[in-house]
A and B are shown apart, each in its own frame.
Chain A
Amino acid sequence: MNGIRCARLGGCIMQSMQRHTNFIPMVMQRRTEWQYSSREGIPREIITMLTQNYDLSKRGIMEYMDKSRWRAVKEDHKFVSERYRVLGPDLAAAHFLVKRGAKVKFHGRNTWFKKDKEGNMYLPSQYVPGMHLEAVDASGMQWSYVAFENMIDLEHLRYLKFSKCRNFDNWSLARLYQFQDTLEFLDISDCWEVTENGLACLYGLKKLTGLNLSGLSLVQNMGLMVLLLEEGLPECTIFGVNEEQLKPPSEDSIGHLSQRMDAIIESQNLPTEGSSESPCEIVHLHKSQS
């Protein structure tokens, strides 16, 4: 709902609800000056507020909460230049990722760093030369396109795992070009929003030796994409794809588009915190038909 400015009371209620759920606090929206002036008349913000379609059904309110939560996520994932300046690129990225639930590994050390139950991270809070990020495991993390801005200048990154990341779609895959010189292993299993156009972006990662593509339910021509990727990335092993997926779509399963639309309808548009259902289960329709 674009014109809504949260009333303070509503904001407090929402915030107390957020506190009980272990999630990022909602960012209060900035209020513009609502002043009547004889030249301008009633401020336009008020007029547009009055003309909005307010959906006060349960579904509408849940949608509104989803949208504000998503906006808060994007706000939270923004690039913080201070962090980059103080810690350097590798440690800044490590802090960013670990704080939000990912695990990282540095060159030369065999331990994975992650956040423990109290929220301690055990990462150095100052720049330490020689600590370079080698591997990132961001499985299950709430992702957004903006998060990639925090992972710049990582010159030794070799392993990326985005399995079951929410909101990891084609645009995020396209953004992986910034790791094209060093990335050797990529795991995007169960990122159900990825389609063929996203897989085509992987062509540019010339150093890739391992690629995990299991559970990508929206990719209908997996065999074709695997062939094309194997052509372009000859040293890469692609796994996670079973024999059935490699077969071309059969003649019986006409109406691909409707099955695909069914899958999309049943899945959620925006990431919500409580959705533990994985939409991968839905589209095995064409498997059962063929």
Chain B
Amino acid sequence: MLCQWCHLVARNTMQRLTLKKLSLQNIHTGALALQLSTGSRRTLISPHQNPLQRLAKPRYAGQIAAVTRNFHIPSRPQTAVLWQEGKDVVCRSRWLSSQGDGGRDGEEGTPAAGEYRSPWTILKEEFKGISHGQNLESVVPVPRETDVLVIGGGAVGSSVAFWLKERNPKGMTVTVVERDPCYTQASTMLSVGGIRHQFSVEENVQLSMFTTDFLRNIKEHLSVLDESPPDVQFNHQGYLFLATARSAPLLEKNVQLQRKVGAKIELLSKEQLAAKFPWLNTTGIEVGSHGCDGEGWFDPYLLVKALKQKNISLGVKYTEGSLEGFENTTDHNYTKDKPAETLGTAKIRTRDHKVHGCKFAMVINCAGPWAGEVARMAGIGAMDTAELATPLPVEPRKRFVYVVHCPNGPPIDSPLTVDPTGVYFRREGYGGYYLCGASPDKDKEPSIKDMDVDYDFFTERVWPELSKRVPSFECLKLKSAWAGFYDYNYIDQNLVIGNHPYHRNFFFANGLSGHGLQHSVAVGRALSELIIDGKYTTIDLSRFEFERLLTEDFLVEEKIV
């Protein structure tokens, strides 16, 4: 029976699950426990988590689920986790944005497909349009069933929906659930909007180059008949990474890797830097790398707007609602003795507090910073079984962006400059405005409770370094600031893509800590290839699959800004 089960698991997952050691434990009611052996016992705790006691009792009595890591479920003031006894796991959590009375129990909206509804009810709904002047969409806002459910309608979600629908306009229905249609808290809109090819992992370079290519030909890809062609206001000044003598060899090694992939990066010595960028203070700097071609920054709102427009023209349904939880459906295809359970229905709460059911074939997690919560709703990281013990290591990290005005600042050809201390700045428009910011130190992460800006961070951390590096920034005026969330992968700051080995219809596109916007288009394309073709054809992202979190083959991205 073990062999049968393993064989079926291997056949049904898209990628082979490579475990270091398999050993049998008590077999009880058809369930198996897998013991993963680890070389090093790393505790994967993020700084936001409080150590809590272990979760509720194991799923099947008498089973020893050998979980060899301590995973802690974070407690946040705004999430209330309720566990139902039995098979179904339903999480309820309040929305981060204040959307009315979130704690109230919602009335039942339309149930998912497959459940009986009386024809009289359905007729009444459809004729409400005539009697009340409402269209069908406001009465049945969430489709009762869909082929692909995309959670999150930002850059990554819209891009996944685009590539899926573009390949197969009439072949599959795609629904995008976005709880914040004005994108007030979405990381996409609050990002600085840069795109660079300078990464330390080869696939990341390829992902960025693909996105640059897409933006170059955006009129071909995203034009809609009779609408104005899309334009993302791309600024071509590129990125400039500076390195001290200590970090210079690493920078040069990365540049060689990037050039091997095809990126056009210039390595500039101290004298060349001083000649090319006279506004830069090169004390302490040994070498700099400047991307000349295809790097720069653009307006992320215009990109999402163009994607959304094209998606709607292709037939993607954008739904305003918040995901409440998932419900399982039994799948009799696994073993003849015990039917396994797969995610089948999503519970979506709309603005009028009604909870609708939406039956799907596959669900794609593009929830950005809140992807960890969505994964927990599916049971990933929330159960004690070996298959579901590993959580998705993505959580929100707050970052600040400050808008300053400096009339004598660097000229218009200044790139997005990143200091060795982590402070960055870029020009914004042509009126002497600049955006600047920095990543806080590891132990000084700001609280993610709200989106308030910490101005002390600017005066203590950002401005001193900035004025040291660019002397003309000594006199500037802070005009405005905002805070946004990184969807931070606290293990290796890299993408998590592909399907979960157990919930094989649950796909990830998360963890792009700070470089999500520039990879969004390429990640969407990769996922669509995985779903439709079964393998990655353009860029091979198999190194970023979820299994690497189980086998600890971490792939750390060093160049995080």
Interface-side segment among B178-186, B227-235, B249-257, B444-452? B227-235
Give complex CA distance A84, B233 in Å.
Answer: 35
Interface-side segment among A131-139, A184-192, A196-204, A282-290? A196-204
In the complex, what residue of chain A is closest to B313 when comparing beta carbons? A53
Q: Which of A59, A200, A270 contacts B235 (CB 8 A)?
A: A200
Interface-side segment among A13-21, A117-125, A168-176, A236-244? A168-176
With known contacts A2-B167, A48-B171, A197-B236, A270–B228 Cβ distance under 8 A: no
Q: Whole-angstrom distance from the CB of B253 to the nearest CB of chain A?
A: 24
Give complex CA distance A68, B229 in Å.
Answer: 19
The proximity string for A residues 157-185 relative to B, scoring 1 for CB distances below 8 Å and 0 otherwise, is: 00000000000001101110100000000
In the complex, what residue of chain B is closest to A231 when comparing beta carbons? B411
Q: Is the CB of B412 within 8 A of A203?
A: yes
Q: Is the CB of B229 within 8 A of A203?
A: no
Q: Which of B151-192 contact A (CB under 8 A)?
A: 166-171
Q: Is the CB of A232 within 8 A of B411?
A: yes
B532 CB within 8 Å of chain A: yes
Give complex CA distance A264, B231 in Å.
Answer: 11
Main secondary structure of the interface of B (DSSP, over half): loop
Q: Is the CB of A47 within 8 A of B411?
A: no
Q: Is the CB of B532 within 8 A of A44?
A: yes
Q: Is the CB of B228 within 8 A of A264?
A: yes
Give complex CA distance A261, B302 in Å.
Answer: 14
With a CB–CB cut-off of 8 A, which chain A residues contact B219?
269-270
Q: Which of B120-171 contact A (CB under 8 A)?
A: 166-171
A4 CB within 8 Å of chain B: no
The proximity string for B residues 212-250 relative to A, scoring 1 for CB distances below 8 Å and 0 otherwise, is: 000010011001010011010111110000000000000
With a CB–CB cut-off of 8 A, which chain B residues contact A231?
411
B293 CB within 8 Å of chain A: yes
With known contacts A48-B171, A174-B293, A177-B293, A200–B412 Cβ distance under 8 A: yes
Q: Is the CB of A197 within 8 A of B233?
A: yes
The proximity string for A residues 240-274 relative to B, scoring 1 for CB distances below 8 Å and 0 otherwise, is: 00000000000000000000010011000110000
A29 CB within 8 Å of chain B: no
The proximity string for A residues 138-156 relative to B, scoring 1 for CB distances below 8 Å and 0 otherwise, is: 0000000100000000000
With known contacts A44-B533, A228-B430, A204–B228 Cβ distance under 8 A: no
Q: Which of B170, B314, B413, B430 contacts A232 (CB 8 A)?
A: B413
Give complex CA distance A201, B168 in Å.
Answer: 39
Q: Is the CB of B292 within 8 A of A177?
A: yes
A278 CB within 8 Å of chain B: no
Give complex CA distance A196, B168 in Å.
Answer: 37
With a CB–CB cut-off of 8 A, which chain A residues contact B228?
261, 264-265
In the complex, what residue of chain B is closest to A205 when comparing beta carbons? B413
With a CB–CB cut-off of 8 A, which chain B residues contact A221?
430
Q: Name 15 A/B residue pairs within 8 A (Cβ), A-sorted.
A: A44-B533, A51-B168, A51-B171, A171-B234, A174-B293, A196-B430, A197-B233, A197-B234, A201-B237, A201-B413, A221-B430, A228-B411, A228-B412, A261-B228, A264-B231
Q: 10 closest A-B pairs (Cβ-Cβ)?
A: A51-B171, A174-B236, A203-B413, A51-B170, A200-B412, A261-B228, A51-B168, A269-B229, A53-B169, A264-B228
Given contacts A53-B169, A200-B413, A204-B413, 19 further A-B contacts (CB under 8 A): A3-B167, A44-B533, A47-B168, A47-B171, A48-B168, A48-B532, A50-B171, A51-B169, A51-B170, A51-B171, A53-B170, A53-B314, A59-B225, A177-B293, A198-B236, A224-B430, A232-B411, A261-B228, A264-B229
